[in-house]
Amino acid sequence: MPPRPPSEVHEKTPTVLFPSSTAAAQALAQEVKTLMEENTRTGRPTVLGLATGSTPVPFYRELIRLHREEKLSFQNVVTFNLDEYYGLPADHPESYARFMREQLFDHIDIPAENINIPSGTIPSDQVFAHCKAYEDKIHAVGGIDLQILGIGRTGHIGFNEPGSSRDSLTRRITLDRVTRQDAASDFRGEQNVPHFAITMGVGTILRARQLVLMAWGENKAAITARAIEGAVSEAVSASFLQDHPNARFFIDTGASRELTRIKLPWLVGPASWTPAETRRAVVWQALKTSRPVLKLIDEDYNEHGLSDLLSEQGPGYQLNIRIFNRLQHTITGWPGGKPDADDTFRPERAKPYPKRCLILSPEPQDAIVGMGGTLDRLIEQGHDVRLIALTSGSLRVPDSEADKFASTLAELGSAVVTPAEWKEQTQYANTILRILDEKGEFGEDPPALRQLKALILRGELRDAAHTLGLTSDRVHLLDLPFYEKGRYRRFHSTPDDLAALVSLLAQHKPHQIYCTGDAADPSSVAGITFRLLETALRQSEGEDWAATCSLWSYRGKEKPLEAHEIDMAVPLSPLQLERKTRSLARYNSLSTLELSIADQNRQHAKDYDALGLAEYEAIEAFQRRSRP
């Protein structure tokens, strides 16, 4: 391999950065194609190790395209999947066997006998023999040529949770709590996620001749950097790739955010001191030394590798003042702009007042999580606020909620009215109860059940919005079709989704749009809706309203913004934070990440305080995506 540039000195496993997951997937698929063609020429099969989850989906789509459009044949390919949930039959909607069929195997010409996936239903007393046979089979075909990997937030590869040893082989393991939380939406609640899985071991994986680990989105940034730059340790299985002679990480911009060359570039080479980079360096230094910005001295700059920043933009005190002022100007209690005030240094312009504010929530709870306090302020300050739930969120609602609703309805029938008067309602309730009964714990939700779950979430959303003073006529439901027709980790957006967004924008002609998902995994609901919004805005470019519309992004369950990235900081009083928390309590099924949002809001306030700015209870943070 060619020597790597000094900026990558901290990266112990070679890492390739791509502008998007699509670009990375295309590059990898080309490599696989070349490998397959070479092997076919020499009369060898190509043995691929495959992963599931959302990460490899764009790669599989590209392989399918190569098969369809460039006649790439998989007749000569043998595959071994990394893992399977223990307890799930192969036709279960969330089994990895079914995932692989739907995402790849049904669309290419691979012979069925060449596909290998651990069994999720092997009886307990045969698990050991099954795992051994899996290892033997990999060995018998000559080992894996190329193993594809994703990474879990625990740093797992396959399902090798923290504590898995370097030499571990295929075996049954217990899933980590974090992994089960991450799978909760797939299974409509953490309680439904299997506790066990069968997985190839770290040792099995490392025996592959070549490894490529892919990671997308900011939520993977911290663990990816730890695996690439941190110590090799059983605490992070993916760190073992550092010991492999031919392993690489393929990551997108979001997942690269915590690498030293991106996060602290001045430590590994000459930095280009753009305003954003300068802000990052000064804020980093202040937080690291626990010194407010205005108290940083030239020695601090020198000791932290920032002497060239000082010589370019110093003296230190002037630089401190510049950055302090810039941070100070991000703070505003007037997210819609302060009417009749000088707005030269305010994040949002004063006019027009009031503004038409469109608050886009990918799933119904996202906007309240990410900007409940700001929403409260916008309403209080007289703006024309609309909250748009882009999808119904029905897939998040556990069966128990539908059961509770249908049982109450059925009982109401006999309690308050005569059975004849209540006939249709009782019939409806019984249909739902029957569906729940028949489909069992893991079955797919038929449309009637999805509809009821959507209604339940709708009720929660209206209720949560009321707590913030938003009346029902200002809460809109777009029910984008990609969500209604899809399932988590395998959504496909369509022209209908885009058309719905374009017409929403044309109808409301917003002065301000708030959205989330810019830093999310592109296959997540927030990631998909953000990309749809970008396209919709591009299509609306000629419209009058578009020229005067500002676009702000908030973070919900994604990695929070760091202090230097914030363009607008909206302080929340203790009372407002309490009101936000109360409105979130209206939701019955929030993830742990969503529930910890108040802590994130408090952390922003602590950081601002530590930088020497005013001390607030909590802050909601926004990044400017575009300005008029």
Residues that bind ligand F6R (CB under 6 A): 51-55, 82-83, 150-152, 156-159, 489
Q: Which residue, 489 or 564, is less far from ligand F6R as judged by CB? A: 489
Q: How far is CA 371 from the centre of its chain?
A: 17
Q: Which residue, 82 or 378, is less far from ligand F6R as judged by CB? A: 82
Q: Which residue, 181 or 548, is less far from ligand F6R as judged by CB? A: 181
DSSP string covering 124-135: GGGHHHHHHHHH
For residue 92, give the 3-state DSSP assignment.
coil
Q: Which residue, 81 or 426, is less far from ligand F6R as judged by CB? A: 81
Q: Are 624 and 551 in contact (CB under 8 A)?
A: yes
| CB 203, min distance to ligand F6R, A | 15
Give me the sign of the Cα torsion angle 3, 269, 244, 212: negative
Q: How far is CA 174 from the centre of its chain?
A: 24
Q: Is 348 a catalytic residue?
A: no
| CB 93, min distance to ligand F6R, A | 15
Q: Which residue, 50 or 577, is less far from ligand F6R as judged by CB? A: 50
> Nearest residue by C-beta to ligand F6R?
150
From start to end of 166-301, where are the E strands? 171-174, 196-199, 210-215, 247-252
| Distance of alpha carbon 418 from alpha carbon 413, whole angstroms | 7
| Distance of alpha carbon 90 from alpha carbon 192, whole angstroms | 17
Q: Which residue, 156 or 604, is less far from ligand F6R as judged by CB? A: 156
Q: Which residue, 60 or 159, is less far from ligand F6R as judged by CB? A: 159
| CB 129, min distance to ligand F6R, A | 22
| CB 615, min distance to ligand F6R, A | 38
The 475-477 sheet, strands edge to edge: 475-477, 384-389, 356-361, 512-515, 550-554, 618-626, 568-572
Q: 138: Cβ–Cβ under 8 A, 6 or more apart, which residues?
A: 47, 80, 144, 204, 207
Q: Are 113 and 74 in contact (CB under 8 A)?
A: no
- Would residue 352 be called left, alpha or beta, if left means φ above 0 and alpha means ψ between -120 and 50 degrees? beta
End-to-end Cα spacing for the chain: 47
Residue 483 has which token pair? 């969500």
| CB 456, min distance to ligand F6R, A | 26
| CB 145, min distance to ligand F6R, A | 18
Q: Which residue, 200 or 597, is less far from ligand F6R as judged by CB? A: 200
Q: Which residue, 52 or 260, is less far from ligand F6R as judged by CB? A: 52
| Distance of alpha carbon 445 from alpha carbon 449, whole angstroms | 6
Exposure string (b/e) for 300-320, b if CB count within 10 Å is 16 or more?
bbeebebeebeeebbebeebb
Which pairing describes strands 171-174 and 146-149: parallel, antiparallel, or unpaired? unpaired
| Distance of alpha carbon 32 from alpha carbon 108, whole angstroms | 14
Tokens 């079955």 found at: 443
Residue 530 has which token pair? 């953000």
| CB 476, min distance to ligand F6R, A | 30
Peptide bond preceding 270 in cis form (omega within 30 of 0): no
| CB 533, min distance to ligand F6R, A | 23
Query: Residues 8, 135, 161, 229: which is the catalytic one?
Result: 161
| CB 183, min distance to ligand F6R, A | 8
Enumerate the active-site residues: 161
